[in-house]
Amino acid sequence: MRYRVPASTTNLAHGFDCLGIAVGLHNTVTVDVTTGDDVTAPDAADPGLAPMAARVRSACAAAWSVRLPAFAVRVAGEVPIARGLGSSSTILLGVAAACQTLAGRAFDRAELLPIAAALEGHPDNVAAACLGGFTVVGAVAGGLRWARFAVPDDLVAVLAIPAYEVKTSEARRILPAMTSRGEHVLAVQRTALITGALASGRIGDLAGLFADGWHEGHRAALNPSLTALRADAATAGALGTILSGSGSTLLTFATRASAPAIASAITAGCRARVETVAVRVADFSNTGLDVA
């Protein structure tokens, strides 16, 4: 059983834990039934892969009241770990999809999304990776509700991926328990405007909407490249630059025509500051979790 799952970028500066977009980097999750009782990850460099997959098996078994067999899981692809691009969501969704098959159930993304979101602890990466495109997700009475919109082909991402990692748990720990009324109002206003621009496909309307994200200010200490790199991208015509998730990747929204110049400006700026950053242009993905 093999499943292809895209990376994801979330928050979009202001839509904390609710806005996300699938990014055209992918992981392939392969699951093979084995003997015994354990979930294993024979080729994994990350010792956390097998325990994560075991948690998915347990959650799926409980949700569907079935017993699921032992299996081995392998993950290969382009999504870097602890860089704010939803690597854990790709694993949760790929393993959950395999468990769905092992349980004799039809492939159903809507059934997998809440299971994976509960394991992830926040639904934004999972929604984007599961459904593809631009997604809005939130908790309502009885579960999650989401909306999904196709991303226009002319909107692309310029990714600046530093050599250092930022753990989501650490990035959440430094956030304050309360925000000010001004921060709250700004976040609501910008989230609504960003959603309107992307849902309608008016990507030019995104310009000027991504600055001053409340959580980004608190996370700047963990992501020291943000301010300078945002300025580099702006000089080359970027629509805006965000922390992808909690970082460390910085994602710049660009038109397809402007992306090469923006990538060059970011590369030059990082080189001048002696920062080790991998810069690449990537499409957004309108295809979510799928059979590989």
Q: Which two tokens stand for residue 170?
A: 């650490």
Residue where the block lists tokens 């699921």: 68
d(CA 33, CA 271): 47
Please name the fold of domain 155-283. Alpha-Beta Plaits (3.30.70)
What pLDDT is stored for residue 82 in this prediction?
87
pTM: 0.95
Q: Is the peptide bond before 225 cis (omega within 30 degrees of 0)?
A: no
Give the pLDDT confidence score for residue 11 in this predicted structure.
96
Q: Are 5 and 89 in contact (CB under 8 A)?
A: yes
Query: 125-144: per-residue pLDDT in tens?
Result: 999 999 999 999 999 998 99
Q: What is the dihedral of CA 95, 101, 104, 105, to 10 degrees?
A: 90
CA angle 204, 210, 216 (to 5 degrees): 165
**The pLDDT of residue 132:** 98
The CATH class, in words, for 2-150 is alpha beta
Give the dihedral sign, CA 14/18/19/20: positive
Sheet arrangement for strand 155-162: 240-243, 250-255, 155-162, 277-283
pLDDT < 50: residue spans in the chain: none
Ranges for all domains in the chain classified under CATH 3.30.230.10: 2-150
Which residues have a Cβ under 8 Å from the Cβ of 57 and sit 6 or more positions away? 39, 68, 71, 95, 99
> Which residues share a beta bridge with 255?
155
Residues carrying CATH 3.30.70.890, the chain: 155-283
Which tokens belong to 209? Answer: 């909407």
Q: What is the pLDDT of residue 136?
A: 98
Cα(74)–Cα(88) distance, integer angstroms: 13
What gap in Å lies between CA 45 and CA 64, rounded to an integer? 31
Count of H-run helices and E-run strands, the chain: 9, 11
